[in-house]
Structure formats: structure tokens, C-alpha cells
Chain A
């Protein structure tokens, strides 16, 4: 379970971004966070994952009871936190397949497991590239190198599938996706969900939530969650925008 309590965070230059976020995500739950541009949605993911531009001013973040704010970025990831980036970075020259394997072996080493066997890894790759309808080009190209926006997002979900996190935070995974790609990515997210895992989606649009049904919808505004509800809240936001929601 991910528990974020009264989290306040700012940029290293002192600009306050998160002003007391409270969010509890239990296993098996899908949460959607919506909110106007600049409200702190991406910052929330960056702050809890340890992005170097952010500093935690107060509050706590625990994953399965473990305080992750004392861990470095890779330890947080290896503990089960996965952030799918809004703008995935290109790393030309590092083959996607080598990167995926390195990431998986890092996690396995952290958990005290041996490196994954070739056959086991190939089986995982085959299964998930097939699920996400990704061809062999994705394996041997540099990480996100020359990928379209949609291909990068699909590659993020492939990483999520391979790394098998406890909590996946997906930052605007639907942006840049055409209708078919959105359907494929959504199918991937749904198939990867199990009762032990949870997903937090940041999105601006209902269309992703038509495919990935959230249990809870939250509105983040001015660095705080100001409204929470069920899936119907997203439909209401789609119709009415954010102006009707007051400050907390």
C-alpha cells in the first residue's frame, strides 16, 4: 500500500509545489488524479520518486509500511514504485532490450535474487511485446531513440510490465496516443493489474478512463487534493471543468 501523508515539497529554488497532499492507495485499486495544468500532478510523482529538482519539506510517503523518502531514487524503484514519465528520455546507444534487462537485474539484485536467465527474460519480452503489439524494432533500438510520442508511451508500459512494480504511477500516459495505441496501452495496464498491485493515473481526459476504470478520482489543485470521488467525478469534470471546485 502507498500512503502519502501531508506531503509538502518544493523545487530546489524554494518554489512551493505540493502543499499538503494526502493520498492512500490500497492493493488492487486504480486511482485517477486530474487537475488543471500546473496544479502539481507531475510534481507529485517526481517528488515521491526522488527527482533531484525537488525537495521534501515535510510529510511522509510509505510503501508497504516502509518510509521511502529516506531511499535514493533507484532504491525507491526497486522497492516497487514505478513512474511512467510524461516525456520519456531518449538514451541513444543503449539498446532497449539491454536497458530493460539491466533494470530488471538491478531490481532482482536489490531483492537478493540472481540475475534473470536468458530463457526467462526472453519469455517475458515475448509475452509483453506481444501484449503491447510492439515489434522487434523496439528491442534493438536505443532507449526511446527515434520513437514517436506514442511509441515512447508504449515503451514505458513495457518497462512497467517487465519490472512488475507494486505501485505504478502513470503520468499522462494517454497523451500522444492515437485511438488504437490508447486501446492497446489501456489493455496492457488492465492485464497487468492484479489484486496485489495498484495504479495511479494522471490524466486530463475521460477517454483513458473509459478503458482503465478507476475506483477513485481525485482533483489536485494548487498542490493539494481538493476533491475526491468515484468514477462519476471524472465525468463531471469533463462536463463542467474545474471552476466549480473550491479550495480546501
Chain B
């Protein structure tokens, strides 16, 4: 069987998520009832299956399976050792699967662009395999766009000393779910995950992330911020798994949310599964309105209320990314945030 058939078989086995499925607890599952999942037969992804383990047999996430089942042809790219590459990733079809094999010491920065056509349902899957000392920066900061129902699944496997940076600004409307499976399989591999949601109306944005610390001295950082208005709802289910022999792992998760309306909602679920004693793992979560004292301070210097609010919100947004070393992604994102404010 090729990957597509295995994925379909796995999908029929697990089925659409039920209300009691923890991983989909916050997602409005009713929107899934009309989706039709059936394999397209135009192409085979057998060659991918031979070379890379996509974890399909044990996959529990239908959002990771649907793109494999429905994509017509996977896009596979190899970045040779020690090469540098910057580029964009843009799905042309409703369903897509992209795989990057980033070889030793290569340095890759990719911007993920939204498909601009309005669709009832889209699903994409991005796989990355990083060899030793490879670096990957993925970022997205698309202008606001309506998505009726969108899945995006990103799966990254990192070898020793590889580094992953994921930076995102999300301001689309509609309903979407992004899931991340990040495997730190080599010693001293790292992941830095930074996400800003600026949402309005009745947008539903749901995130499911698992960082698997499968090797010693691995390090991960999650900084997720929300500015929510209208009836928007964000859920963030962020898990850190530390394996048995993974000594001196360091992991941090911080989530800050500002709710600008009474009907905006945020649901946070931190999960730590730690099977080793010699680790440092922290998580924190704050939720509130704009700081009244800061607003007062700015206004007491003659700055009107609206502008004072904008300054504080922009500051909150910029600080999600400002500590980062200068990179293609961080520059692009900071420029997008400051220009759109």
C-alpha cells in the first residue's frame, strides 16, 4: 500500500472526531459533518513512503491524514547540505502535501502563503526532515482572508543540533485548525514557536501542538499571544512530551491573551508529559484586558484613548517577536505588524 491508501485506511479507522475527543474538544466539530474524504487516484506517493516515515500508521489526527488522502501530487524538495534557501510555500489546490528534506547544515527560510481562492474546505500538510545542524525558519503573516474551513498540519523531525523556528501572525476570519507535531529527535535540537492571533468577528482558530523531546539537551520555547475582538475564539492545546532518557531538557510555554470584547473567548490547555527528572519545564498563561494604568499613563501625556489603546496593542503584538535575532521571517513579520497597525 502506498501512503495515500494507508492514510485512508487509518482515517476510516479513527473516523471524524467525536465531542469527547480531547484533541478536538474546543473545535466546533459540527462544521465537519459535511466534509467528504475519499482518496484521489491520479498519483501515488509510494516513493515518499519508502524514504520517509510520516507516522501515518499511528496518526491520530485526521487533519494530518486528509491532505495525504486527497492531494493529487505531493511536492517533494531536497535542500542539499550547507545550502541556503529562502522561498515561499503556497498551496494551489484545495488539498496539498509538501515535503522538504533539508540536509546537513542547510539553512532554509520559508514563508507560507495562503491560497487566495475562497473554498468550502481546504487542508494542507507540510513535512520537514532536518538532518544534523540544519536550520529551518517557517513563517506566515498573510493579510486577513476568509476561510470557511481550513486545516493545516505541520510535522517536523529534527536531528542533532538542528533548529526550528516557527513564527506566525494569524488574522484570517472563518474557521481553521492548525496542528503541529514537532520531533526533537537529535541532541541539542531546538524549537522556537511564536504565534500571534489578531482575530475579530466570529472567527474560530484552533491550535494543537505537540513538541516531542526525544533526545537529551533539547530545548523548546512557545510564546503565543492573542488579541481577540468580536465573538472570536482561540483554543491552544500545547503539549510538551519529554522522553525517558532525555536529560537536561529545557522547555517553556507562555500564553498571553487580551480580550477586547465580552464575547471573545480563549481556551488554553497546557499539557506536560515528563518521563525524566532532570528537566526544566515551565508554563504560564495570562488573560485580561488592556492594562488600565498604562492606558491612563499614556493619556495623561496627551495621547488620546484610541491611540493609547493602539500603542499598547501594537506593543503587545511586536513583543511576541522582538527578542528574536534578525532573520528573514522576523523582519517580515515585524514589518507586517507595524505597517498594518
A residues apposed to B, CB below 8 Å: 49-53, 72-74, 77-78, 82-83, 85, 88-89, 91-94, 99, 102-104, 106-107, 110, 159, 163
Contact = CB atoms under 8 A, between A and B. Distances in A.
B297 A89 contact: yes
A94 B315 contact: yes
A163 B315 contact: no
A107 B305 CA distance: 14
Contacts, number: 68
Interface in B281-300: 291-300
A102 B315 contact: no
A106 B302 contact: yes
A163 B299 contact: no
Interface of B: 291-305, 307-308, 311-312, 315, 318-319, 322
Contact of B293 (A73, A89, A107): A89
Given A91-B311, A92-B315, A102-B307, 16 more contacts: A52-B296, A72-B299, A72-B304, A73-B299, A74-B299, A78-B302, A89-B294, A89-B297, A91-B312, A93-B319, A94-B315, A103-B301, A104-B302, A106-B301, A106-B304, A106-B307
Given A51-B296, A89-B293, A91-B297, A72 B305 contact: yes
A126 B15 CA distance: 69
Contacts of B308: 74
A99 B293 CA distance: 16
A141 B294 CA distance: 17
A99 B301 contact: yes
A77 B319 contact: no
Nearest to B292: A52
A91 B318 CA distance: 12
Contacts of B297: 85, 88-89, 91
29 contacts: A50-B299, A52-B292, A52-B295, A72-B299, A72-B304, A73-B296, A74-B301, A74-B302, A74-B303, A74-B304, A77-B301, A77-B302, A82-B300, A85-B297, A85-B300, A89-B293, A91-B294, A91-B298, A92-B319, A93-B315, A93-B319, A99-B301, A102-B307, A102-B311, A103-B302, A106-B301, A110-B302, A163-B301, A163-B302
Given A52-B296, A89-B294, A89-B297, A73 B311 contact: no
A94 B292 CA distance: 17
Nearest to B306: A74
A159 B318 CA distance: 24
B303 A102 contact: yes
A80 to B, nearest CB: 10
Given A72-B305, A91-B294, A93-B322, A77 B299 contact: yes
B336 to A, nearest CB: 16
Contacts of B304: 72, 74, 106
A89 B311 CA distance: 14
Nearest to A76: B300
Nearest to A102: B303
B299 to A, nearest CB: 4
Contacts of B300: 49, 73-74, 77, 82-83, 85
A152 to B, nearest CB: 11
Contacts of A107: 302
A165 to B, nearest CB: 9
Given A91-B298, A93-B315, A93-B319, A74 B305 contact: yes
Nearest to A81: B300
A53 B292 CA distance: 9
Contacts of A49: 300
A42 to B, nearest CB: 13
A78 B298 CA distance: 12
Contacts of A94: 311, 315
Contacts of A103: 301-303
B98 to A, nearest CB: 35
A84 to B, nearest CB: 10
A88 B296 CA distance: 11
A88 B268 CA distance: 32
A99 B308 CA distance: 11
A236 B308 CA distance: 43
Nearest to A165: B302
Most buried by B among A92, A104, A106, A107: A106
- Of B297, B299, B301, B311, most buried by chain A (CB within 10 Å of CB) is B301
Contacts of B303: 74, 102-103, 106
Contacts of A163: 301-302
Nearest to A162: B301
A52 to B, nearest CB: 6
A78 B299 CA distance: 10
A91 B315 contact: yes
Contacts of B318: 93
Contacts of B296: 51-52, 73
Contacts of B322: 93
